[in-house]
């Protein structure tokens, strides 16, 4: 299987998560998964507003990963985060952004103590449209903090339709 096809399959799994979101007029419906790179195993999933507190998909993946029984990994273990939409760099609610959540996870003592892998690359189904935040700098911030950023094309129309369900 080609790398592109593999990434497209993982993005499709993230899109399945996005479809679980309860629609709201003031936020996107986003889905995300985390894959352990050496085994190609999905180790966490999440979608917007899945957990209490106006939560985002990437944040939910990372929260669930840290609270799971995921076995310790080696120091060199890496994860890939697949998200249907570019991780936010700002939250209108004042909550921590998904970009900062990813960077904070990688730098956290808890991750290191539990010997969990670090997020090496974020795969994005589409850039965030300017519906709510007009200047998302998530890509620049991730790259500046050593996290790769790769756009996986091919599902943008479907991702946008799901993301905007319930938007006015």
User: Is 58 designated active site?
Assistant: yes
Cβ neighbours of residue 19 closer than 8 Å, sequence gap 6 or more: 29, 31, 162
Instruction: Give the residue from 62, 54, 57, 67 showing the smallest Cα distance to 20.
Output: 57
**Alpha carbon distances (Å) from 12 to 96, 99, 159:** 26, 21, 9
Q: Which of 58, 86, 110, 113 is catalytic?
A: 58
Instruction: Give the residue from 65, 154, 56 showing the smallest Cα distance to 99.
Output: 56
By the 8 A CB rule, do 65 and 34 touch?
Answer: yes
CA separation for the pair 47, 25 (Å, rounded): 16
Question: Which residue numbers are catalytic?
Answer: 58
């Amino acid at each position: 299987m080609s790398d592109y096809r593999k990434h497209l399959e993982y993005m499709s799994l993230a899109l399945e998560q996005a479809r679980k979101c309860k629609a709201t007029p003031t936020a996107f419906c986003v889905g995300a998964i985390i894959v352990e790179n050496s085994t190609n195993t999905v180790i966490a999933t999440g979608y917007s507003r899945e957990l209490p507190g106006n939560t985002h998909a990437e944040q939910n993946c990372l929260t669930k990963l840290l609270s799971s029984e995921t076995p310790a990994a080696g120091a060199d273990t890496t994860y890939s985060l697949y998200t249907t939409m570019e991780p936010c760099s700002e939250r209108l609610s004042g909550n921590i952004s998904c970009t900062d959540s990813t960077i904070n996870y990688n730098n956290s003592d808890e991750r290191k103590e539990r010997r969990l892998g670090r997020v090496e690359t974020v795969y994005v189904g589409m850039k965030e449209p300017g519906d709510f935040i007009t200047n998302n700098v998530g890509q620049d911030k991730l790259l500046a903090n050593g996290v790769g950023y790769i756009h996986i094309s091919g599902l943008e129309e479907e991702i946008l339709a799901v993301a905007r369900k319930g938007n006015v």
